[in-house]
Amino acid sequence: MKLTSVVAVLSALASATATPTPTRERAATEPHKATVSDKATLGYATQNGGTSGGAGGTVTTVSTLAQFTAAVALNNTAPAIVVVQGIINGTAKVRVSSNKTIIGLPGSGFNGVGLLFLKQKNLIIRNIVSSNVSASYGDGLTIQESTNVWVDHSEFHSALVSNKNYYDGLIDVTHGSDFVTISHTHFHDHWKTSLVGHSDSNGAQDKGHLRVTYANNYWSNCNSRGPSVRFGTAHIYNSLYVNMSSAVNTRMGAQVLVESNVFKNVTSPITSVDSTQVGYATANGNDLGGKRNVAPYGNLTVASVSYNYTLLGAENVTAVVASEAGPILVF
Ligand SMILES: *[C@@H]1O[C@H](CO)[C@@H](O)[C@H](O)[C@H]1NC(C)=O
Ligand SMILES: *[C@@H]1O[C@H](CO)[C@@H](O)[C@H](O)[C@H]1NC(C)=O
Ligand SMILES: *[C@@H]1O[C@H](CO)[C@@H](O)[C@H](O)[C@H]1NC(C)=O
Ligand SMILES: *[C@@H]1O[C@H](CO)[C@@H](O)[C@H](O)[C@H]1NC(C)=O
Ligand SMILES: *[C@@H]1O[C@H](CO)[C@@H](O)[C@H](O)[C@H]1NC(C)=O
Ligand SMILES: *[C@@H]1O[C@H](CO)[C@@H](O)[C@H](O)[C@H]1NC(C)=O
Ligand SMILES: *[C@@H]1O[C@H](CO)[C@@H](O)[C@H](O)[C@H]1NC(C)=O
Ligand SMILES: *[C@@H]1O[C@H](CO)[C@@H](O)[C@H](O)[C@H]1NC(C)=O
Ligand SMILES: *[C@@H]1O[C@H](CO)[C@@H](O)[C@H](O)[C@H]1NC(C)=O
């Protein structure tokens, strides 16, 4: 069943060493061709029947908040692909119904507009730039009581403003949500980046759920929560972390498997702090930047992950992930 392969990086990638920009450490990269009806191909979102979003449904292009809100309205759970054209500005929290794919054309997404998946199933977000959602409108993306969610090739950010509670999370996964994959996504310039499990007292709803895969993500200039996990199960691999105080924080009995990641200038790469009970971590093949994994040793292992996956190897992560994470898809 289980095959963890370490693949050769395409020679094309290995040779793509354009000058990085000073703040993003991202090489110039060829856009990736994708289709609007792609289904989740990696991580926990491939389990529990898989995640197809709006595949097979109508395709609607939206460029205003009103059009977007109508296209994802709760009274219509039929599969639909919603193509976002341009940046939709506003101050709002938009609740999205089941069976939707939200895809951005190059340079498209939301500014100030938070997305909420509450009590829904089967949702995909790809190629979206989300910025500056104030805490009054939730997180960039809030996933609550929802299952089968795939976030891929997107960018979530705000700014390290002086009030660290002005913004809440970039992507928070809470209230018993399950089967979530966040892949090839760039998180940057934010305080409280990604929270899995919102409260020490929510074990009744969360235990046995909150299974989240974080693969091939780039986290830069984020203070903490890369991610913070209570009660759940998180598999974190092939990711690049630069300039963080705390990255992986495992709490309240959470089990995390942390493999093939690179941590540069991260004070606490893997830890267990700030809860009434510790969580656990298994760490394999990471470059911890001279630091140590200080979380108690866990039991989530390669053998207990229920899907196939590919490790890049820590020595390959910086070159590949800094250039591949983010909204580089073309449709
Ligand atoms: C990390 O922080 C340093 C110092 O502020 C900055 O020069 C550098 O660009 C940051 N790295 C990234 C990848 O943002
Ligand atoms: C959903 O509600 C809106 C009005 O709020 C209406 O225009 C639309 O036809 C409804 N859609 C369905 C599928 O019922
Ligand atoms: C949408 O998704 C839900 C949950 O996956 C499913 O039960 C339902 O049949 C779907 N709705 C439609 C109209 O296809
Ligand atoms: C949203 O604001 C950005 C600038 O911040 C602008 O480029 C974009 O055109 C705006 N979008 C709309 C739909 O007006
Ligand atoms: C987000 O906020 C920061 C700081 O408040 C600002 O510099 C940036 O331009 C904003 N982004 C957008 C897309 O408006
Ligand atoms: C390391 O990251 C911190 C933020 O966590 C930043 O303030 C500092 O400038 C960075 N140092 C270097 C050498 O990049
Ligand atoms: C790992 O330990 C937890 C208790 O922390 C237990 O509930 C779980 O069944 C164990 N899983 C495996 C695969 O041994
Ligand atoms: C994993 O890969 C192996 C070899 O390709 C295959 O036989 C197996 O079915 C795969 N398992 C899953 C869960 O996809
Ligand atoms: C890194 O990538 C090279 C190919 O570019 C591959 O030969 C090597 O095995 C990879 N390293 C690891 C640890 O997987």
Mean pLDDT of the region 239-258: 98
Query: Residue 12 pLDDT more than 80?
Result: no
Report phi then psi at 33, rounded to 5: -80, 135
3-330: CATH superfamily: Single-stranded right-handed beta-helix, Pectin lyase-like (2.160.20.10)
DSSP state of 297: B
Query: Residue 120 pLDDT more than 60?
Result: yes
Q: Identify the band that residue 5 occupies on the pLDDT scale cut at 50, 70 and 90.
A: very low
pLDDT at 110 (0 to 100): 98
> For residue 76, which atom of ligand 2 is closest to its CA?
13
- The two three-digit tokens of residue 78, written as one number: 């039929």
Q: Which of 252, 154, 237 is nearest to 203 (CA)?
A: 252
Q: Identify the band that residue 25 occupies on the pLDDT scale cut at 50, 70 and 90.
A: low
Query: Residue 14 pLDDT more than 70?
Result: no
Catalytic member of 26, 211, 225, 251: 225
Q: Is 126 a catalytic residue?
A: no
**301 CB under 6 A from ligand 7?**
no
> For residue 242, which atom of ligand 1 is closest to its CA?
13
- Over the stretch 201-241, which tens digit does the pLDDT of each residue have? 999 999 999 999 999 999 999 999 999 999 999 999 999 99
Model pTM?
0.92
CA dihedral 263, 265, 267, 269 (to 10 degrees): 0
Q: Identify the band that residue 10 occupies on the pLDDT scale cut at 50, 70 and 90.
A: very low
Residue spans of the domains in the chain: they are: 3-330
CA-nearest residue for atom 5, ligand 3, is 121
Contact 233, 255 (CB under 8 A): yes
Q: Identify the band that residue 309 occupies on the pLDDT scale cut at 50, 70 and 90.
A: very high
Mean pLDDT of the region 299-303: 94
Contact 56, 37 (CB under 8 A): yes
C-alpha span between 156 and 112 (Å, rounded): 11
- The two three-digit tokens of residue 154, written as one number: 């997107």
**73 CB under 6 A from ligand 2?**
yes
pLDDT exceeding 70 applies to what percent of the chain? 92
Query: Residue 141 pLDDT more than 80?
Result: yes
> For residue 312, which atom of ligand 9 is closest to its CA?
14
